């Protein structure tokens, strides 16, 4: 069966299967957009928790760390209840659209980006704090400086977030509905084909997904290495 799967994966790619492309494109759009939004929200959040002392800070750190392990299917269920017509955000009409899937993945990825950036920024702050205070930097001024200084580590954090988003199926299945041509992505396709007993096809799709994620990670690594050499 494993041999079958490789042939299937290869033939899917070589035949430039149109529906495959559509599914791959949708998967990438959703996960990349979700990671982007989560970064815009999560990195400043992580930096803020690292920089400021406030009551409940310890609890917040524990919560962020714990939420990194939020089961996707639970996140999916919670977002479904939020976005359902019977729920508080029903007016938005987001359910069973790619928008809902992005929403759910942001919920999953945000804790990862916030928790890991917090840790990295706190590390850097240990090194920089005295000099920053000496230079006259306010806490809020420290935030962008630290985030930019941590950029190489944060790239890896972004990849971790992307890995989580592109790999999960529980959340997108629940809030997207796996609608053919509208909300069907790589992972939900794999579940569907497995359910139909088309195991070679399912495995083939899995190989395509893995290859894609591998390429993205390789690209990010190269970009990281090239810029790191220039900046030390």
Give the residues lining the site for another protein (CB under 8 A): 29, 33, 36, 84-87, 90, 95-99, 127-128, 130-131, 133-138, 141, 145, 149, 151-152, 177-180, 182, 192, 194-199, 230-232
Nearer CB in complex with another protein: 145/156: 145
In order, the DSSP letters of 1-44 are: -HHHHHHHHHHHHHTT-HHHHHHHHHHHHHHHHHHHHHHHHHHH
Q: Which residues of 81-91 are buried (b: 16+ CB within 10 A; e: fewer)?
A: ebbbeeeebee
User: What's the closest the beta carbon of residue 219 comes to another protein, in angstroms?
Assistant: 14
Nearer CB in complex with another protein: 110/183: 183
Nearer CB in complex with another protein: 65/224: 224
Could you tell me the two tokens for 206? 């899995």
User: What's the closest the beta carbon of residue 201 comes to another protein, in angstroms?
Assistant: 8
Residue owning tokens 């917040």? 60
User: What's the closest the beta carbon of residue 35 comes to another protein, in angstroms?
Assistant: 12
Nearer CB in complex with another protein: 67/87: 87
User: What's the closest the beta carbon of residue 196 comes to another protein, in angstroms?
Assistant: 5
Residue owning tokens 């069973």? 96
d(CA 150, CA 148): 5
User: What's the closest the beta carbon of residue 83 comes to another protein, in angstroms?
Assistant: 9
Question: What is the Cα 47 distance to its own chain's centre?
Answer: 18
d(CA 22, CA 20): 5
Nearer CB in complex with another protein: 37/70: 37
Query: Of all helices (H) and strands (E), which one includes residue 83?
Result: helix 72-83
């Amino acid at each position: 069966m494993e041999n079958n799967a490789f042939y299937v994966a290869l033939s899917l790619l070589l035949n430039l299967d149109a529906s495959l492309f559509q599914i791959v494109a949708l998967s990438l759009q959703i996960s990349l957009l979700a990671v982007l939004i989560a970064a815009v929200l999560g990195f400043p959040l992580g930096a803020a928790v690292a920089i400021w002392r406030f009551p409940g800070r310890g609890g917040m750190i524990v919560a962020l760390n714990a939420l990194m392990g939020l089961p996707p299917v639970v996140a999916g269920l919670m977002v479904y209840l939020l976005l359902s017509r019977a729920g508080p955000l029903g007016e938005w009409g987001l359910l069973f659209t790619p928008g809902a899937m992005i929403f759910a993945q942001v919920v999953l990825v945000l804790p990862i980006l916030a928790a890991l950036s917090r840790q990295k920024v706190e590390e850097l702050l240990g090194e920089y704090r005295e000099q920053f205070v000496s230079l006259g930097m306010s806490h809020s001024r420290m935030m962008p400086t630290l985030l930019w200084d941590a950029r190489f580590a944060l790239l890896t954090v972004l990849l971790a977030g992307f890995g989580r988003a592109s790999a999960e199926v529980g959340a997108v299945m629940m809030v997207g509905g796996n609608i053919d041509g509208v909300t069907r992505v790589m992972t939900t396709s794999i579940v569907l084909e497995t359910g139909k007993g088309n195991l070679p096809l399912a495995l083939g799709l899995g190989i395509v997904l893995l290859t894609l994620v591998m390429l993205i990670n390789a690209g990010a690594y190269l970009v990281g290495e090239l810029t790191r050499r220039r900046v030390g």
